[in-house]
Amino acid sequence: MTRRRLIGGAGAAGAAGLVLGAAGGATGYAATRPDEPTALTAVGSTQVMFHGKHQPGITTPLQACGHLVAFDLVPGAGRKEAAALMRRWSATAGRLMAGEPAGSGAADGPDHDTGIALDAGPSSLTVTFGFGRTFFERTDLTDRRPPGLDPLPPFSADRLDAARSNGDLWVQIGADDALVAFHALRAVQKEAAPAARVRWQMNGFNRSPGATAEPMTARNLMGQVDGTNNPKPAESDFDRRIFVPDSQGASGASGAQGGTDAKYDWLAGGSYAVVRRIRMLLDDWEKLPQERQEQVIGRRKKDGAPLSGGTETTAMDLDRAGSDGKLLIPDNAHARISAPEKNSGAAMLRRPFSYHDGISADGTPDAGLLFICWQADPLRGFVPVQRKLDRGDALSPFIRHEASGLFAVPGGAADGEYVGQRLLES
């Protein structure tokens, strides 16, 4: 019997025929799935807009899976090739985020799209683009490179792999469906040729929407609620902390933000992304009793509440002591050292993915956090906080920073524009 006749016969016989002719695993699957196709759910139908004042993927709620990929322009490629690439990438991202095929129609032909995400909705897909420091050298635009892209200082706990750090161009892809995210990744990779080639790629995940009884802050691979103190879009100073202001009327903005000099106008409405691959030494961490883990973090593992009391959203009482006179939130607790009130108000929007890349040669899990934080000025956001953590964070013995990148992320593209157009066509 041919494969075509076998499939046809199975379709005519219905799902029951498949169950009768299959092993127990298939029987179990059929017993828990309806015979009729399931309609597109709220998860699959959710769409994020590509065009706007800011690029997507910054304030978008955490997605279930993601890909981070950096590219270098190939030898001989410059500003012209970079502009053509950003035009292609922006057009493709706009179509994919709308749930459409990657191909643009007649120009690409009906088979241009890989078909990986056929039948899926947009699934909250976002594609975000950024420029690294070296991008401006390759495109002869060093006079337009903002001071916020000055190299990050070294930190004592860094064990950075240069091959997995930095890059001319950076793309962040996120979605609530793994195939939709991979579909976008392949489209971006294909469109990169012949102007750029992949420098490094990292793949991550978060909890799937609907996996908990009610919405809650995500957990990381240490089991800790992670992201409680993130700035909230509803806060009056959110935009000032996260997005680069316009040069006009941006009184008080620092030069590092690129907000007081017209040559940095292309970055208005954009942000800076600091990307760090942070290995978690899970075997060592999991040996600690839960009480000790909570003291390292400064929060309860069960619900993320501060050790000073209350719920997850209760403000930390950093001065509260127990009956023994000791601070309830220890001096070196991660939550204390990284708190904005302990860092002159420095704040970042943390939007990470977890990762697991198998087992290392020493038999330990190669797993941890793809740390991504957004801010209007990394010299006022990430750098001062990381310096303090570097000097005495109780979490430091259980993590290792293995890769790093800093990228200027332009503002969003207006309808009919591509991301970075104000820089590349100025």
Q: Which amino acid is at 152?
A: L
Within a 13 Å sphere around the CA of 400, how many CA atoms are in the beta-carbon half?
A: 12
User: What is the rounded CA–CA span in Å between residue 131 and residue 406?
Assistant: 8
Q: Is the peptide bond before 37 cis (omega within 30 degrees of 0)?
A: no
Q: How far apart are CA 46 and CA 41, in angstroms?
A: 9
284 is catalytic: no
The DSSP secondary structure of 306-350, one letter per residue, reads: BTTSS-TTSPP-TT-B-TTS-BSS-TT-HHHHT-GGGTTT---EE
Instruction: Give the whole-angstrom CA distance, residue 156 versus residue 353.
Output: 24
Helix axes 79-97, 178-192, angle to 10 degrees: 160
Helix or strand holding residue 66 (H, E): strand 65-73
Token duo for residue 44: 């699959």
What span, in angstroms and rounded, lies between the C-alpha atoms of 172 and 60? 12
From 72, 177, 226, 393, the catalytic residue: 226
Both tokens of 92, joined, read 């493709």
Per DSSP, 65 falls in state E
Active site residues: 226
